[in-house]
Amino acid sequence: MTPVQHFEQLLARREPLLALAPMQDVTDLGFWRLMTRYGGADVYYTEYFRVHPDSHLEKDILTSITHNPTDRPVVAQMIGNDIPSLIRGARELQEHAVAAIDLNLGCPAPVVYKKCAGGGLLRDVPRVEGILGALREAVSIKFTVKTRLGFDDTETIDVLVPLFAKHGVDLVTIHGRTVTQMYRDGVRYDLIAKAKASLPCPVLANGNVGSHGEAEAVVRQTGVHGLMIGRGAIRNPWMFEQIRQHLSGQAVFQPTAADKLAYIEALYETVTTPQTRELDQVNRIKKHLNFFGPDLDDSTAFLHEMRRCTTRSGLMEVCTRHLKA
């Protein structure tokens, strides 16, 4: 079975499709491998490939495809605004074992959107349409898009939806916030539901799904074909399996404090390298631990103490104290 066929099979199921969101410098090959220990997602999206006239496929990201440890379909995501470069990147990526090519229209990082890429493209809908048309021609496998509602308004999605349909996009992931909203509260699931009702292709909902209960509520409210989860899965690698258990009526596994600490130890080993000095190793895992706050009673204190750690032992002491609180 090819990656595309596997992807189609998953989309045809009655159960919601569960995708791991692409998070730059976080959801890399090592993290994918770690996630498989806990049940893992149904589909994995790569970190975005930066595409411009002088670009080459980043080798570190490409290894997620060429050494895919998940036994699940991989979607290769691109970010950029130069049409010839995006066409070239899409063609090169299709030479590898990917289920789909995804266009990033949602990255909210200022360093990205100020270059009119990612979420910045939502300020230039005509250019978005040009990119969609060009990529639809260049992509012979599944062509997907990940977008936010708009740059600084929620009306842009109403303009985008007909364009996605017009250009035959095969799946759309909608993060229910604007770009300028970043990750603040106020995810508009109602607008995801509205877009889903107007699109002929499957839709994934993205944004603030932090538990199996929330996952069920979002699917019910929006009617989407599945969910894309990022930050919630970083802090709770059991989430995908918990969602499956919950929706199938099984008892939902509840990790103990010891389970969570063992995961953090495994995460440390996954994201660091022995030849790197300890301070750099500790700073590397802080990118992941920043997402742990919402599940803790004293999130502010945990984040304050964790971000000031300089040693592995100090970091684990902070984690042990707060996860057992």
Of the candidates 239, 180, 237, 230, the residue with the CA atom closest to the CA atom of residue 204 = 230
Instruction: Pull the structure tokens for residue 79.
Output: 């970010």
Total Cβ atoms within 10 A of residue 219: 20
Query: Rounded distance, CA 242 to CA 292, Å?
Result: 17
β partners of residue 102: 77, 144
Query: Rounded distance, CA 272 to CA 130, Å?
Result: 41
Q: Under 8 Å CB-to-CB from 20, ≥6 apart: which residues?
A: 27, 32, 35, 40, 41, 43, 44, 45, 228, 229, 230, 233, 240
Query: Rounded distance, CA 284 to CA 256, Å?
Result: 25
Query: Rounded distance, CA 79 to CA 62, Å?
Result: 14
As to burial, measured by CB atoms within 10 angstroms (0-12 exposed, 13-18 middle, 19+ buried), residue 88 is: middle
Query: Rounded distance, CA 286 to CA 231, Å?
Result: 13
Q: Tell me the torsion sign for CA atoms 25, 99, 123, 182.
A: negative
Question: 150 near 181, Cβ under 8 Å?
Answer: no
Active site residues: 107
Instruction: Give DSSP secondary structure letters for 203-231.
Output: EEEES---SHHHHHHHHHHH--SEEEESH
Report how far apart, in Å, the C-alpha atoms of 132 and of each of 99, 125, 229 are: 18, 10, 24
